[in-house]
C-alpha cells in the first residue's frame, strides 16, 4: 500500500468506528456526553468558532457542511438563555390550551427552567402530537438536548425529528444510515438532560419534535444546538 494512502484509510476506519459506536449507543438508549467541541472537520482554513455565514438553501450546499461527518463545534440556540421568543415555539392543538393547560404552553419548553409551568405538556397523549420551532431563518442545527417536567415524573422516552427550510415545503424526516426515520432516545428521569447530536447536521428554519414514547405524559424541556464553524 502506498504510504500516502494510509492516512486516508485510517481516517475512514476511525469515522466508521465512530458511526458504529454512535448508532449502537442509540439502539441501546445510551445518552451522549455533551462536549463543547468535537473537531473532525477537514475543511480548509483556521477560523475561530463562529456560526456559518450566509446560508443559502435550495440547490446550493451550505459552506462547510458538505465536508463534515459531524459538526466541529456546537452552541446552544437560546432556549435556556431566553433568546428564543415564546411565539417561536408552537405545538399541536395549541388553540385548546385553556384553563390549567394555559400554564404549560410550548413556550415553556426551555432547558433547566423551574417552578410551576416548567415544561411543555401535551394536552393529548398519542403519536400525532408535535412541538415546532421557527428559527426565523435557516440555520445549521447540529443537536438537541431534552429534559422532562421539573416537578413531576413525566418525560418523553423517544422521538423523531422533522425539518424544512420554508413553510411551503414538505416536512423531511431525519433519517438513519439505513434510510429509515431515525428514532432518538430521550429521557429516563425528570431532571437529567439527554443529548442527541445530528450526524450530519441539518439546514433548517422549521424543526418539529414528534414524541414516539413517554413516561406518564408527554412533557418536554429542550435546547437546540447550532453548528459552529472552526476548521483546522
Could you tell me if residue 62 is inside a domain?
A: no
Could you tell me if residue 79 is inside a domain?
A: yes
Degrees to nearest 5, angle at CA 30 with 24 and 36: 100
Domain that holds residue 199: 73-228
| Cα gap 105→123, rounded to integer Å | 10
Could you tell me if residue 125 is inside a domain?
A: yes
The mean pLDDT value for 134-140 works out to: 95
170-221 per-position pLDDT tens digit: 999 999 989 999 999 999 999 999 999 999 999 999 999 999 999 999 999 9
Could you tell me if residue 41 is inside a domain?
A: no
Burial class of residue 139 (count of CB atoms within 10 Å of its CB; 0-12, 13-18, 19+): buried
Could you tell me if residue 123 is inside a domain?
A: yes
Number of domains, the chain:
1
What's the pTM?
A: 0.73
Could you tell me if residue 220 is inside a domain?
A: yes
Amino acid at each position: 500500500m502506498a504510504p500516502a494512502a494510509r492516512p486516508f484509510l485510517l481516517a475512514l476506519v476511525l469515522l466508521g468506528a465512530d458511526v458504529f459506536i454512535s448508532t449502537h449507543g442509540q439502539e441501546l438508549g445510551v445518552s451522549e456526553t455533551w462536549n463543547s467541541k468535537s473537531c473532525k472537520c477537514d475543511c480548509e482554513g483556521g477560523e475561530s468558532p463562529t456560526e456559518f455565514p450566509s446560508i443559502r438553501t435550495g440547490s446550493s450546499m451550505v459552506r462547510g457542511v458538505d465536508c463534515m461527518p459531524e459538526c466541529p463545534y456546537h452552541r446552544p440556540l437560546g432556549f435556556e438563555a431566553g433568546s428564543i421568543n415564546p411565539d417561536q415555539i408552537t405545538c399541536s392543538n395549541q388553540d385548546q390550551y385553556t384553563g390549567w393547560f394555559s400554564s404549560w404552553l410550548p413556550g415553556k419548553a426551555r432547558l433547566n427552567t423551574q417552578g410551576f409551568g416548567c415544561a411543555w405538556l401535551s394536552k393529548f397523549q398519542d403519536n400525532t402530537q408535535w412541538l415546532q420551532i421557527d428559527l426565523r431563518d435557516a440555520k445549521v442545527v447540529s443537536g438537541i438536548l431534552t429534559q422532562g417536567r421539573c416537578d413531576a415524573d413525566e418525560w418523553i422516552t423517544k422521538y423523531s425529528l422533522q425539518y424544512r427550510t420554508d413553510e411551503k415545503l414538505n416536512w423531511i424526516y431525519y433519517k438513519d444510515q439505513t434510510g429509515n426515520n431515525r428514532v432518538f432516545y430521550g429521557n429516563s428521569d425528570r431532571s437529567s438532560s439527554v443529548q442527541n447530536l445530528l450526524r450530519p447536521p441539518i439546514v433548517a428554519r422549521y424543526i418539529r419534535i414528534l414524541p414516539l414514547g413517554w413516561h406518564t405524559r408527554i412533557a418536554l424541556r429542550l435546547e437546540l444546538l447550532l453548528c459552529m464553524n472552526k476548521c483546522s
